[in-house]
Chains A and B, each alone.
Chain A
Amino acid sequence: MSNIPVDLKYAKTHEWVRVNDDGTVTVGISDSAQEQLGDMVFIEVPETGQSVAAEEACAVVESVKAASDVYAPIAGEIVEVNESLADSPETVNTDVYGKGWIFRISPSDMSELDELMDAETYESYLDSEAH
Chain B
Amino acid sequence: MPFIPHTETDIRDMLGTIGASDTEELFDEIPPSLRMGELSGVPVGMTEQEISRLMHERADTDGRPLCFTGAGSYDHHIPAAVWEITTRGEFYSAYTPYQAEASQGTLQLLYEFQSMMAGLTGMEVSNASLYDGASALAEAVLMAVRANRKSKSRRILVPTTVHPHYRKTTRTIVKNQGIELVDVPYCSDGGNTVPDSLKHFEGEDISALVIQHPNFFGVLEEVDALTEWAHSQGALVIAVSNPTSLALLKPPGEWGEQGADIACGEGQPLGVPMAAGGPYFGYMCCRQALVRQMPGRIAGRTVDRDGRDGYALTLQAREQHIRRSKATSNICTNQGLMVTAATIYMALLGADGLANVARACHANTRALVDRLTENEYVKPFFNRPCFHETVLQFSLPLADVMRPLYAHNLLPGYDLSKDYPELGNALLVCATEVRSAADIELYADHLNRIIESQTAAGCPVQPKMA
Name A residues whose Cβ lies closer than 8 Å to a Cβ of B.
41-42, 44, 47, 62-67, 69
Contacts of B150 on A, CB cut-off 8 Å?
A: 47
Query: Which listed residue, A47, A65, A69, touches B317 by the CB 8 Å rule?
Result: A65
Contacts of A67 on B, CB cut-off 8 Å?
A: 317-318, 322-323, 326
Contacts of A63 on B, CB cut-off 8 Å?
A: 317
B382 to chain A, nearest CB (A): 43
Q: Which residue of A lies closest to B150 (CB)?
A: A47
- The yes or no answer to B165 lying at the interface (CB within 8 A) is no
Q: Which residue of B lies closest to A37 (CB)?
A: B317
Q: Which residue of B lies closest to A62 (CB)?
A: B317
Most chain B CB within 10 A, of A41, A63, A67, is at A67
Q: Which residue of A lies closest to B323 (CB)?
A: A67
Name B residues whose Cβ lies closer than 8 Å to a Cβ of A.
149-150, 292, 317-318, 322-323, 326
Contact B149 A62 (CB under 8 A): no
Contacts of A62 on B, CB cut-off 8 Å?
A: 292, 317-318
Please report the C-alpha to C-alpha distance between residue A7 and residue B4 in the assembled complex, in whole angstroms. 63
Query: Which listed residue, B149, B292, B322, B323, touches A42 by the CB 8 Å rule?
Result: B292
Say what secondary structure dominates the interface of chain A: strand
Contacts of B149 on A, CB cut-off 8 Å?
A: 47
Contacts of B292 on A, CB cut-off 8 Å?
A: 42, 44, 62
B318 to chain A, nearest CB (A): 5
Please report the C-alpha to C-alpha distance between residue A67 and residue B318 in the assembled complex, in whole angstroms. 6
Please report the C-alpha to C-alpha distance between residue A44 and residue B292 in the assembled complex, in whole angstroms. 10
What are 20 A-B pairs with beta-carbon distances under 8 A? A41-B317, A42-B292, A44-B292, A47-B149, A47-B150, A62-B292, A62-B317, A62-B318, A63-B317, A64-B317, A65-B317, A65-B322, A66-B317, A66-B322, A66-B323, A67-B317, A67-B318, A67-B322, A67-B323, A69-B326
Contacts of B326 on A, CB cut-off 8 Å?
A: 67, 69
Please report the C-alpha to C-alpha distance between residue A64 and residue B317 in the assembled complex, in whole angstroms. 7
Top-5 shortest CB links A-B: A67-B317, A62-B317, A66-B317, A66-B322, A67-B318
Q: Which residue of B lies closest to A67 (CB)?
A: B317
Please report the C-alpha to C-alpha distance between residue A66 and residue B318 in the assembled complex, in whole angstroms. 7
A62 to chain B, nearest CB (A): 5
Contacts of A47 on B, CB cut-off 8 Å?
A: 149-150
A33 to chain B, nearest CB (A): 15
Q: Which residue of A lies closest to B328 (CB)?
A: A67
Most chain A CB within 10 A, of B292, B317, B323, is at B317
Contacts of A44 on B, CB cut-off 8 Å?
A: 292
B261 to chain A, nearest CB (A): 17
Contacts of B323 on A, CB cut-off 8 Å?
A: 66-67
Please report the C-alpha to C-alpha distance between residue A62 and residue B322 in the assembled complex, in whole angstroms. 11
Please report the C-alpha to C-alpha distance between residue A63 and residue B315 in the assembled complex, in whole angstroms. 10
A66 to chain B, nearest CB (A): 5
Please report the C-alpha to C-alpha distance between residue A67 and residue B326 in the assembled complex, in whole angstroms. 9
Please report the C-alpha to C-alpha distance between residue A66 and residue B150 in the assembled complex, in whole angstroms. 26
Contacts of A69 on B, CB cut-off 8 Å?
A: 326
Please report the C-alpha to C-alpha distance between residue A47 and residue B326 in the assembled complex, in whole angstroms. 19
Contacts of A41 on B, CB cut-off 8 Å?
A: 317
Additional A-B contact list (17), CB under 8 Å, known A63-B317, A66-B322, A67-B318: A41-B317, A42-B292, A44-B292, A47-B149, A47-B150, A62-B292, A62-B317, A62-B318, A64-B317, A65-B317, A65-B322, A66-B317, A66-B323, A67-B317, A67-B323, A67-B326, A69-B326
A24 to chain B, nearest CB (A): 22
Please report the C-alpha to C-alpha distance between residue A16 and residue B317 in the assembled complex, in whole angstroms. 23
